[in-house]
Amino acid sequence: MSGNKWLAPYWAAVFCVTISHCDAQTYPVRPIRMIVPYAAGGGVDVMARLIAPRLSERLGQQVVVDNRAGATGNIGAELAARSVPDCYTVLMAGAAIAINVSLYAKPPFELTKDLAPVTLVANSPNIVLVHPSLPAKSIRELIALAHSRPGQLNYASGGSGSTLHLTAELFKTMTHVDIVHIPYKSTGPAILAVISGEASMAMPPLAGMMGHVESGRLRALAVTSSKRLSTLPNLPTVAESGVPGFESGQWYAVLVPTGTPADIVNRLQTDLVQVVRAPDVVAHITREGTFPLGSTPPECGRFIAREIDKWAKVVKASGARVE
């Protein structure tokens, strides 16, 4: 789906609706619910729990994180999309929300019609993690091991069509290896599966993962960015490790139900950008290899439109589909 086909009517719907009892001068007057469409422990959840208390301080009302996992994020996202646009429901979304547009034959809601962008919060490359018992200490060794044991290695994902799944499928396609997919409910359980040795490896977003590496519970082989990270200069990229052109990543964005008044959207955007760019937040997330963004609603909308188009091609190539 091309972004140009929906942006104009989309923004007209977003900014032409006004709800009289929701005014930027008095907003908010009660707690705000931030829906995270994944279980606790994954990258989106970690980002939400970092942002929520700081946003609470700026707004003067509690921002409550509400985890609603399932269907690769669709359950929580649909809940947000169907919520009354009364300024008190926001969604912390990740890259999978753009993937789901083409992954599901009959999606339960229409991303470009039912949800309105507020701002891009941050982005993060993925990281290739393996259980320490796996006899592979580099991407080249992993590829060689997989070729020597076709169908014997497996990887954990946060569900079919998740960024973990499609990043690994892209890796399989580009390296011609046979590694078995084991889907879990979300990123958190998938990572626990690798830590326990139930799964051989995973390729999750970098955010929140370095603690597991530093503790020795997981081994990091590479990051999926196009260049090495300044915060992890000794960790190579997948691309430089024998898979040229390989690149994937996670992003985080705040969305609201379409129809949320423009003045409230702009108020939220201003406060969120201030939170994301605060020195303590920048220092915290950059240590994890995540990079703060902060964008206008239209910029966020255009970015998501591009992501929908990009991942549609990957979904088609991988054959992934959810009915």
Q: What is the CATH number of the domain that holds 175?
A: 3.40.190.10
Give yes or no for residue 193 having a pLDDT over 50. Answer: yes
pLDDT tens by residue, 53-106? 999 999 999 999 999 998 888 999 999 999 999 889 999 999 989 999 998 888
Q: Which amino acid is at 76?
A: G
pTM of the model: 0.76
Q: Are residues 79 and 140 in the same domain?
A: no
Domain that holds residue 34: 3-124+250-318
Q: Which of 1-10, 110-119, 182-191, 280-289 has the highest mean pLDDT?
A: 110-119
Q: Are residues 258 and 311 in the same domain?
A: yes
Among residues 222, 241, 260, the one where a domain terminates is 241
Q: Are residues 227 and 254 in the same domain?
A: no
- Residue 22 pLDDT class (50, 70, 90 cuts): low
Q: Which helix (H) or strand (E) holds 91?
A: strand 89-94
Give yes or no for residue 20 having a pLDDT over 80. Answer: no
Q: Are residues 144 and 235 in the same domain?
A: yes
Among residues 196, 216, 241, the one where a domain terminates is 241
Q: Are residues 37 and 132 in the same domain?
A: no
Number of domains in the chain: 2
Task: Report the pLDDT value the prediction gives residue 16, as an integer from 0 to 100.
Answer: 43
Q: What is the CATH number of the domain that holds 36?
A: 3.40.190.150
Task: Report the pLDDT value the prediction gives residue 86, as an integer from 0 to 100.
Answer: 85
Q: Are residues 311 and 254 in the same domain?
A: yes
Buried b (16+ CB within 10 A) or exposed e, 174-208: bbebebebbbbbbbbbbbbbbbeeebbbbbbbbbb
Q: Are residues 116 and 138 in the same domain?
A: no
Structure tokens at 244: 């040229």
323 occurs within a structural domain? no
Q: Are residues 201 and 308 in the same domain?
A: no
91 vs 279: CA distance, rounded Å: 24
Give yes or no for residue 116 having a pLDDT over 60. Answer: yes
Among residues 207, 241, 275, the one where a domain terminates is 241
Task: Report the pLDDT value the prediction gives residue 12, as an integer from 0 to 100.
Answer: 45
CA torsion angle for 157, 161, 167, 169 (degrees, to 10)?
A: 90
Q: Are residues 132 and 111 in the same domain?
A: no
